[in-house]
Amino acid sequence: MSEASTQTRVEIPNPYSHTLSKRPWRPYVTPFDRILEHKYSGSGTETDPYLVDWMAEDPEDPQRWGKTYKWLEIAVAAISTLCVALSSSAYSGGIEKMQLHFGASTELLTGGISLFVVGFAFGPLIWAPLSEVYGRRIIYIISYTSMTLWTGVTIASPNVASLLVFRFLAGFFGSSPLANAGGTIADVLDANQRGLGMAVYAAAPFLGPALGPITGGFLGLTLGWRSIFIFLTIFAGSVTILMFLLSAETYAPNLLRKRAATLSKVTGKIYRFRADAKRPITLTAVLKVSLLRPWKFLVIEPIVLILSIYIAIIYGILYLNFSAYPIVFQREHGFNTGEGGLAFLGILVGCLIAVTISATVTNPQYIKIAKSKGGRALPEDRLPPSIWGGILLVVGLGGFAATDGPNVHWIAPIMFGIPFGCGVVTVFLAVLGYLIDSYTIYAASVLAANSVIRSLFGAAFPLFTTYMYENLGVHWAAALPGFLALACIPFTVIFYRYGASIRAKCKYAADAEKQMSMILAARNAGQRKSDQEANVEGKQNPVSPSGTGTGEEEDVEGGLGEKQTQVQPAEQTGGQGHGMVQGRENVEGGRSEEDHHLWTQYEALADRDMWDLNDEERLHLHRLHSHFGHAKELKVERE
């Protein structure tokens, strides 16, 4: 059927009874009678189902929610990430009391930090694909409820072994925000807002570890180690309740699949989400891609491997400090556990400074660069902050190493935590932005690979910290991480200068660049053609014949966790995500320039394995197939 075809009207006795009820977690609903009366392409059969997509001005579309509610969703995602990140490090404040209670060594008990972070490595590989199949809201609630239970059970740990197992399980189940919060932000914010949203959210994974030792230190000192887990259980439980009340379902494919299922049940006809028309998504296929592709990228893509190692080293150094700071400030400077936690204030301040710079300076500069280059900056334009951020990081580590002895006032090493914290967040944001822009359609897998490596480093570094400080002394032990960070600075310099040529030689980076170029070329061609028609006919640019245009941007997988957005009005072609106009055949002169670009996209997508395509790509491929498959029919109609 053509895109403009409609279904036979089905009379429903009381369509309003099928309208979703408004709830705190579902403030926007579309009347079911409007959904039912909408014209869908297809014929309602198993072989040619009605294809469901967002309607024009659809209230349930997360991109159209009110600004206040969008930022409320981001706040819930950020708080949930802050809670789990804080839980990873607050544990360190109770190690001293645990030693007395269990009679275990510091090295063994430090495993409670490491195993929690190991959960960060492997949890996202499960939670991310589950959210694609079942939606974000239910995964948030189930995983966070489980984290709360495992944290609560830790309070009654009878021995070290059970405590360590419970810590791993709490980290594994609590990692769902690390996997899906970036996707939530991409679901609700447009391109202009997304940079600010990610900068605000990105503070949570670093502020949490810096706040953890402060809260854990004073609780462990005054009320004992169990009080730390009581606090963490209450915090996690409160976040779980907050999620249940306010965390909305933001993943558009899940919302549209549910809408299609309701339409099928009510009418007796076959409705499907447009991207599932040819091959409905399955959990097995999604898990296969999620579990295997990140490792594949680490093996065959040098950009992913090298920059993931850089980020992993920085992340490992951050967690190394949870074992190093107690040695420096409690053993060398005589701090108690609570005061030792306050030493992390320097890192905390540095993280806040970096987030402020990113939101007020770095992102606006990047937007200006993009505008000067026709709307799309090069991935390498993301990297300059990583260079000066890397230098700040080394300065912080070097200064800490030079001043961490008992003969220097304790304020000096704390102050050097400021450039360290600022450098960590700055490099993290810049490098991840570069990876996202370089791999666009594959960014989710690239970020998963990065997450696994950095979490493993974060788990490993604290385990050898005590031995390193005992054998090398406080100065050289603190200097060694600085040398590692210094050795990594050339990576970002090299990619900044030669990144374009390196990407051209990398299989998946080159493929991502090719497809993004085709999408943008089609967009520009469509805009030129629309402008010409407007000039000739003296009217507005034509809208989507299917009525599904939203006037919003189009999404391509590759945001922080899932999507990257390229601005693309609905009346332009070649987009993915929220509705797309079909290209038009120039009957008199063969294919138009616009159709030429669309055909190139069609060939590129059709050559790839169906299971390698995400929802947006499958949707785009289906529309292109429908368009070119009915070109003759369109020609006959015009003649």
> What pLDDT was estimated at residue 537?
52
Neighbours of 31 (CB within 10 A): 14
Per-position DSSP letters for 148-177, written without gaps between them = HHHHHHHTT--SHHHHHHHHHHHHHHHTHH
pLDDT for the residue 623: 65
Helix, strand, or coil here: 557?
Answer: strand
How far is C-alpha 232 from the geometric centre of its chain's CA atoms?
24
The candidate with the shortest Cα–Cα distance to 408, out of 399, 419, 418, is: 399
pLDDT tens for 573-632 read: 333 333 333 333 333 344 454 555 565 566 556 655 555 565 556 666 666 666 655 443
Does the pLDDT at position 329 exceed 80? Answer: yes
| Residue-level pLDDT at 487 | 94
Does the pLDDT value for residue 5 go beyond 60?
A: no
pLDDT digits (tens, 9 = 90+) for 126-141: 888 888 888 899 999 9
Asked whether the beta carbons of 114 and 462 are under 8 A apart, the reply is: yes
Q: Which of 106-110, 503-507, 594-598 has the lowest mean pLDDT?
A: 594-598
Sign of CA dihedral 300, 366, 424, 201: negative
- The model's pLDDT over 423-434, given as tens digits with 9 standing for 90+, comes to 999 999 899 888
Structure tokens at 211: 């706040």
- Mean of the pLDDT values across residues 185-193? 74
- At 510, the pLDDT band (50, 70, 90 cuts) reads confident
pLDDT in tens, 448-465: 888 889 999 999 998 888
**Mean pLDDT calculated for residue range 226-238:** 96
**Confidence band, pLDDT 50/70/90 cuts, at residue 202:** confident
> Dihedrals φ, ψ of 26, to 5°?
-145, 70
Q: Lowest-pLDDT range, 73-77, 255-259, 272-276? A: 272-276
20-29, 143-152, 287-296 — which one is most confidently predicted on average?
143-152
Q: What is the pLDDT of residue 100?
A: 92
Closest CA to 125 of 508, 509, 557, 453: 453
Question: Cβ contacts of residue 531 below 8 Å, gap of 6+?
Answer: 541
Per cent of the chain over pLDDT 90 is 36
Give SS3 for 564. strand
User: Looking at domain 61-251, does it have CATH number 1.20.1250.20?
Assistant: yes
The larger pLDDT score, comparing residue 43 to residue 196, is at 43
What pairing do the DSSP bridges indicate for beta strands 50-52 and 271-273?
parallel
| pLDDT for 155 | 94
Superfamily of domain 292-505: MFS general substrate transporter like domains (1.20.1250.20)
Indicate if 292-505 has the same CATH topology as 61-251: yes
pLDDT band at 47 (very low <50, low <70, confident <90, very high): confident
> Region 253-266: what's the mean pLDDT?
90
Domain ranges of the chain: 61-251, 292-505, 509-638
Distance between CA atoms of residues 301 and 512, nearest Å? 13
Q: What is the reported pTM? A: 0.74
Rounded to the nearest angstrom, the gap between the alpha carbon of residue 81 and the centroid of all alpha carbons in its chain is 12
Q: What is the CA radius of gyration of the chain?
A: 26
**CA pair distance 343, 323, nearest whole angstrom:** 12
Question: Alpha helix locations (H) across 276-383?
Answer: 283-300, 302-325, 337-342, 345-357, 363-372
Give the pLDDT confidence of 529-564 residue by residue, as tens digits.
Answer: 556 655 665 544 443 333 333 333 333 333 333 333
How would DSSP label each residue in 4-46?
A: T--PPP---S-GGGGSPPPBTTB-----HHHHHHS--SS-SSS
Average pLDDT, the chain: 80
On the question of pLDDT at 27 being above 70, the answer is yes
d(CA 399, CA 177): 34
pLDDT score of 231: 96
pLDDT band at 278 (very low <50, low <70, confident <90, very high): confident
